[in-house]
Structure 1
Amino acid sequence: MCNISPWHSSGRPFQTGYGIATFAHVMQHSPCQVERFDTCGTIMDLVAFALCGHTRPTDATMDTTNAFSWGAFDSQAHAWPASAVSALGIPVDILPRVVRPGSIVGMMASRTTSVFANVIAASSIPVYAPMGDHPCSVLALLHVHHVVSPVEVAMINIGTSAQLSYVETPSSRPDDDENRRDGNSYSFEKRPYFGSQDLYVAAALTGGNVFARFVANCVQWATDLGVPSTASDGRMFANVIAMGLQRTDTALTCRPTFGGERSQSANNTTGQLSNMAMDNWSIGDMSAAIARGIVTNLIELLPKRKQIELRRRRFCPTLKLVANLKRAVCRVLGSGNALLRNALLQHFVQAEFAPNAVVLCRESDAAVGAALVVLQYGAPSI
Structure 2
Amino acid sequence: MSALVENPEQSCDLKVMSNIPGHEDVVRHRKSSRNGKIILGIDIGTSSVKIALVDAQRGNLLQSGYKATKNCIGREEQVHVPGADLQDALQIIRIVRSCLSVLDSHFMKAVSHVAICGQMHGVVMWNSADVHTEQPTLSPLFTWQDQRCSSEFIEDLPRSQSHLRIATGYGCATLFWLLKHRPEYLTQFDRCGTVMDFVALKLIGGDRAQMSPQNAASWGFFNTIEEEWNHEILQNSGFPIDMLPKIVKVGSDIGTLTSSWGVIPVGVKVKAPMGDLQCSVRATFENPKTDAVVNVSTSAQISFVMDLGFTPPKVFDPDATIEYLPYESGSYLATAASLNGGNVLDSFVRTLQQWSAFLLKQDEPKGGIPNNPAGVIPKRGGFNQDQIWTKLKLAAVEQSSTELHMDPCIFGERHDADRRGSISNIGPENCYHLGSVVLAMYQGIARNLSSMCPKDKLIENGLTRIVGSGSCLIRNPGLIKAMEETFGLAVVEASSKEDLTNLELTNMAVDFNSKGNACVGAALFTMDYLKR
Establish whether TM, by shorter chain, passes 0.5: yes
Shift of 1:287: 1.8
> Which of residues 99, 107, 111 is equivalent to 2:248?
99
Aligned to 2:52: none
Superposition pairs of residues 1-382 of structure 1, within 5 angstroms: 1=153, 4-5=156-157, 7-33=159-185, 35=187, 38-54=190-206, 60-109=209-258, 112-113=259-260, 119-122=264-267, 125-142=268-285, 147=286, 149-170=287-308, 172-176=310-314, 179-180=316-317, 183-185=318-320, 188-218=322-352, 233-264=385-416, 269-281=419-431, 282-302=433-453, 307-312=455-460, 316=464, 331-354=465-488, 356-361=490-495, 362-377=514-529
Q: Distance in 2 between matches of 1:250 and 1:351?
A: 14
Is the CA contact 2:292–2:463 (under 8 Å) kept in the aligned structure 1? no
CA 1:272–1:37: 2 relative to 1, 3 Å:
closer
Aligned to 2:505: none
Q: Distance in 2 between matches of 1:13 and 1:355?
A: 29
Q: Distance in 2 between matches of 1:358 and 1:232?
A: 31
Is the CA contact 2:450–2:487 (under 8 Å) kept in the aligned structure 1? no
Q: Distance in 1 between matches of 2:197 and 2:350?
A: 39
Q: Distance in 1 between matches of 2:397 and 2:265?
A: 53
Please state whether the residue corresponding to 2:238 is helix, strand or coil: coil
Shift of 1:16: 2.7
CA 1:19–1:236: 2 relative to 1, 3 Å:
closer
What do residues 155-201 of structure 1 show as CA deviations (whole Å, max 9, x unaligned)?
11112221111111256555226x54xx545x642111013211122
Aligned to 2:22: none
Is the CA contact 1:169–1:196 (under 8 Å) kept in the aligned structure 2? no
Deviates more, 1:213-222 or 1:288-297: 213-222
User: How many residue pairs get matched?
Assistant: 343
CA 1:108–1:250: 2 relative to 1, 3 Å:
closer
Is the CA contact 2:360–2:382 (under 8 Å) kept in the aligned structure 1? no
Shift of 1:334: 0.9
* TM-score between the two structures when normalised by the length of structure 1: 0.77
* TM-score between the two structures when normalised by the length of structure 2: 0.57
Is the CA contact 2:408–2:422 (under 8 Å) kept in the aligned structure 1? yes
Is the CA contact 1:2–1:88 (under 8 Å) kept in the aligned structure 2? no
CA 1:285–1:127: 2 relative to 1, 3 Å:
closer
Q: Distance in 2 between matches of 1:12 and 1:43?
A: 21
Say which structure is richer in helix: 1
Is the CA contact 1:140–1:364 (under 8 Å) kept in the aligned structure 2? yes
Kindly report the root-mean-square deviation, in angstroms, between the aligned alpha carbons of the 2 structures: 3.2
Gaps of 5+ in 1: 317-330
Please state whether the residue corresponding to 1:292 is helix, strand or coil: helix
Deviates more, 1:238-247 or 1:77-86: 238-247
Q: Distance in 1 between matches of 2:349 and 2:336?
A: 26
Shift of 1:218: 4.4
Please state whether the residue corresponding to 2:223 is helix, strand or coil: coil
The code of the aligned residue for 1:286 comes to V
Q: Distance in 1 between matches of 2:425 and 2:517?
A: 41
Please state whether the residue corresponding to 2:347 is helix, strand or coil: helix
Pick 1 or 2: higher relative contact order, CA cutoff 8 A, min separation 6: 1
The percentage of aligned residue pairs carrying the same residue is 32
Please state whether the residue corresponding to 1:279 is helix, strand or coil: coil
Say which structure is richer in strand: 2
The code of the aligned residue for 1:214 comes to F
The code of the aligned residue for 2:486 comes to E
Shift of 1:2: 7.5
What do residues 308-352 of structure 1 show as CA deviations (whole Å, max 9, x unaligned)?
222456863xxxxxxxxxxxxxx2111122112212212212223
The code of the aligned residue for 1:342 comes to N
Is the CA contact 2:296–2:469 (under 8 Å) kept in the aligned structure 1? yes
Q: Distance in 2 between matches of 1:95 and 1:174?
A: 24
Is the CA contact 1:10–1:74 (under 8 Å) kept in the aligned structure 2? yes
Shift of 1:360: 4.1
CA 1:50–1:308: 2 relative to 1, 3 Å:
same
Q: Distance in 2 between matches of 1:41 and 1:279?
A: 53
Shift of 1:372: 1.9
Gaps of 5+ in 2: 1-152, 362-379, 496-513
Please state whether the residue corresponding to 2:274 is helix, strand or coil: coil
